Amino acid sequence: MVSPQNLTQLLIGEKAIVSSVEAHGVTRRRLLDLGLVPGTTVEAVRRSPVGDPTAFQIRGALIALRATEANLVTIQPS
pTM of the model: 0.90
Domain ranges of the chain: 5-77
pLDDT digits (tens, 9 = 90+) for 1-55: 455 699 999 999 999 999 999 999 999 999 999 999 999 999 999 999 998 999 9
From its phi and psi, is residue 25 left (phi > 0), alpha (psi between -120 and 50) or beta?
left
Report angle CA 50, 35, 52 to the nearest 5 degrees.
Answer: 5
pLDDT at 18: 97
What is the CATH code for 5-77?
A: 2.30.30.90
